[in-house]
């Protein structure tokens, strides 16, 4: 594909005139420029609509890169945002008519894309796929679960550490004096799929779906999830790698904003509740070439082709390293434990939700055949996570990595002698970061990831996540040890 300033020509061709037409036809007054920091946080600043000019899509607008996590040092802080006209969408939840534009990050000195811009990594992964000759398109369909709470309080000081979350739907409130308490609070692990009134968030999710559709997001289904206290899921129709990452940023924003407008709070934290299921982000994926699904073979196991099996082999082999990016918080490993439908076993299987890779069997349509990688969670930066999963899968295809035999049994019920032979995901973020430090050559292929980005990721995660938790007394330690 032709490039313009290290940017795909098809993106540039997405017409600034169209974005300006969107602004005019919707009476937009403010244009919000958005980009993603290294660790997945959506960042923004806004300009009056009169400043929406062609230069914004060509020359860009400056910002301070030293104030953004994982970006620049203070002596090299000047950076540029160049808006992608193809991402223009009117915010369905802003009181002031506002248009959102996703931007790419540029180095103003080199006039080149910034290597730590996660969106650039995702775009490079798509270009690398085409250059490999293996496929032309990668489709991704993440299922990002979340909780909706009524109240959250937390603090961390030298002499205090606590958190408190509450939900009128929480099983623990079945006996609370609510004057009146109307009951219908889902028991632990029984939130999937009781109808209202047990599912108290039906109207909230339906309203959210309508707002998502206003913003151009194709929604397939919404429902209450397994946990008590407002765990939800909304599934979007699959998209290509970068477009789905763009869409996920918008989705998470809309979830949080609508919750706030209802005087509730939403979180994508993987494990906010003890003793109940956590929130995952099972990620469906497939490769296509010339309109053909490369993962389909009518005669293969679960209708999977040899290409798909090698792709799975790459995912399983590199999973310890992948999880440093796909399950990138210390809290991620509170979810990845046996007994809560968590995919801790590095095997593959059809229909089996205890395996790291599941092959959905809802349809025999060749177009529907795909694999589902289950360890990721929604704290991941999807630009990087999608790119990393694709690179692992491509490495599997390139090197014909055998995933072994499928395991179509309840992996939690295996006898100890057999269970001991099943490889499992890392037990902590620290272990995953160690694995990434050892195993990241596959990410560097085609210049998709850079050593600089990976080094920054590992160093920052160790200091800001692992050490932050490791060095502080845990509240449960007082329960266990105060009387020592």
Give me the residues of the chain with pLDDT under 50, please: 1-5, 7-13
Q: Tokens 């489709």 map to which residue?
A: 139
The residue count of the chain comes to: 484
The 3-state secondary structure of 183-239, one letter per residue:
CCCCCCCCCCCCCCCCCCCHHHHHHHHHHHHHCCCCEEEEEECCCCCCEEEEEECCE
The model carries a pTM of 0.94
And the tokens for 307? Answer: 């290409």
CATH architecture designation of domain 137-481: 2-Layer Sandwich (3.30)
The CB density around residue 181, as the number of other CB atoms within 10 Å, is 13
The answer to whether 432 touches 327, Cβ cutoff 8 Å, is yes
> What tens digit of pLDDT does each residue of 88-102 get?
999 999 999 999 999
Residues 48, 46: Cα–Cα separation, whole Å: 7
Two domains, one topology: 9-114 and 137-481: no
Q: Tokens 């996540």 map to which residue?
A: 465
Which one, of 324, 298, 314, lies nearest residue 384 by Cα?
324
Task: Give Cα separations from 155 to 151, 162, 473, 475 (angstroms).
Answer: 14, 6, 13, 12
Residues 64, 119: Cα–Cα separation, whole Å: 18
Q: In this predicted structure, what is the pLDDT of residue 76?
A: 77
Residues 206, 199: Cα–Cα separation, whole Å: 12
Strand partners, 33: 45, 101
The CB density around residue 114, as the number of other CB atoms within 10 Å, is 22
Residues annotated as catalytic are 64, 143, 145, 225, 233, 282, 353, 372, 374
3-class secondary-structure state, position 282 = strand
Residues 59, 30: Cα–Cα separation, whole Å: 20
How would you class 369 by CB atoms within 10 Å of its CB: exposed for 0-12, middle for 13-18, buried for 19 or more? buried
Residues 470, 319: Cα–Cα separation, whole Å: 24
Task: Give Cα separations from 318 to 67, 244, 435 (angstroms).
Answer: 33, 23, 9
What DSSP character marks residue 277? -
In degrees, rounded to 5, the angle at the alpha carbon of residue 307 between the alpha carbons of residues 303 and 308 is: 50
Q: In this predicted structure, what is the pLDDT of residue 77?
A: 82
Domain residue extents for the chain: 9-114, 137-481
Strand partners, 47: 31
In degrees, rounded to 5, the angle at the alpha carbon of residue 395 between the alpha carbons of residues 370 and 40 is: 75
Residues 64, 57: Cα–Cα separation, whole Å: 19
And the tokens for 289? Answer: 């070439």
Residues 170, 183: Cα–Cα separation, whole Å: 10
* Pairing mode, strands 345-350 and 355-359: parallel
In degrees, rounded to 5, the angle at the alpha carbon of residue 458 between the alpha carbons of residues 319 and 308 is: 20
Across 115-160, the runs of DSSP E, i.e. the strands, are 137-149, 151-156
Which one, of 170, 173, 166, 169, lies nearest residue 151 by Cα?
166
The answer to whether 293 touches 300, Cβ cutoff 8 Å, is no
The answer to whether 185 touches 173, Cβ cutoff 8 Å, is yes
In degrees, rounded to 5, the angle at the alpha carbon of residue 106 between the alpha carbons of residues 100 and 112 is: 140
Q: In this predicted structure, what is the pLDDT of residue 14?
A: 66
Query: What is the Cα gyration radius of the chain?
Result: 23
Q: End-to-end CA distance of the chain: give it in Å, rounded.
A: 66
**What CATH number matches the domain at 9-114, 3.10.20.70, 3.40.640.10, 3.90.1150.10, 3.40.390.10?**
3.10.20.70
Strand partners, 83: 103
Residues 23, 51: Cα–Cα separation, whole Å: 12
The CB density around residue 290, as the number of other CB atoms within 10 Å, is 8
Q: Which residues contact 241 (CB under 8 A, 6 or more apart)?
A: 122, 125, 126, 138, 139, 140, 386, 387, 390
């Amino acid at each position: 594909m032709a490039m313009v300033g290290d940017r795909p020509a098809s993106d540039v061709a997405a017409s600034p005139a169209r974005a300006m037409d969107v602004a005019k036809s919707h009476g937009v007054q403010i244009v919000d420029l958005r980009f993603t920091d290294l660790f997945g946080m959506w960042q923004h600043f806004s300009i009056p609509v009169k400043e929406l000019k062609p230069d914004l899509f060509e020359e860009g607008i400056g910002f301070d890169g030293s104030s953004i996590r994982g970006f620049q040092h203070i002596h090299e802080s000047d950076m540029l945002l160049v808006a992608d006209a193809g991402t223009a969408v009117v915010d369905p939840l802003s009181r002031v008519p506002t248009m959102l534009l996703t931007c790419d990050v540029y180095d103003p000195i080199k006039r080149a894309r910034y290597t730590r811009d996660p969106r650039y990594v995702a775009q490079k992964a798509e270009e690398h796929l085409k250059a490999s000759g293996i496929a032309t398109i990668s489709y991704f369909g993440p299922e990002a679960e979340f909780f909706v709470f009524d109240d959250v309080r937390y603090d961390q000081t030298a002499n205090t550490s606590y958190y408190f979350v509450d939900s009128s739907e929480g099983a623990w409130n079945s006996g609370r004096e609510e004057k009146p308490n109307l009951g219908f609070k889902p028991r632990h692990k029984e939130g999937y799929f009781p109808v209202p009134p047990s599912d108290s968030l039906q109207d909230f999710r339906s309203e959210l779906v309508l707002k998502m559709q206003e913003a151009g997001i194709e929604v397939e289904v919404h429902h209450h999830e397994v946990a008590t206290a407002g765990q939800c899921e909304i599934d979007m129709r699959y998209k290509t790698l970068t477009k789905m990452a763009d869409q996920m940023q918008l989705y998470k924003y809309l979830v949080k904003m609508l919750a706030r407008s209802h005087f509730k709070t939403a979180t994508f934290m993987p494990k906010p509740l003890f003793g109940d299921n956590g929130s995952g982000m099972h990620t469906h994926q497939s490769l296509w070439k010339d309109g053909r699904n490369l993962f389909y073979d009518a005669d293969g196991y679960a209708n999977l082709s040899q290409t798909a099996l090698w792709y799975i082999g790459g995912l399983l082999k590199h999973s310890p390293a992948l999880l440093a990016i796909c399950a990138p918080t210390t809290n991620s490993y509170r979810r990845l434990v046996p007994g809560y439908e968590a995919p801790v076993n590095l095997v593959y299987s059809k229909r089996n939700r205890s395996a790291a890779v599941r092959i959905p069997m809802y349809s025999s349509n060749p177009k529907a055949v795909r694999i589902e990688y289950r360890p990721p969670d929604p704290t991941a930066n999807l630009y990087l996570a999608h790119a990393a999963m694709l690179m692992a899968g491509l490495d599997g295809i390139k090197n014909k990595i055998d995933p072994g035999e499928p395991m179509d049994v309840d992996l939690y019920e295996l006898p100890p002698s057999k269970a001991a032979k099943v490889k499992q995901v890392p037990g902590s973020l620290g272990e995953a970061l160690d694995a990434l430090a050892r195993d990241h050559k596959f990410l560097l292929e085609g210049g998709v990831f850079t050593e600089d980005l990976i080094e920054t990721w590992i160093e920052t995660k160790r200091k800001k996540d692992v050490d932050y938790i490791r060095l502080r007394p845990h509240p449960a330690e007082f329960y266990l040890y105060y009387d020592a």
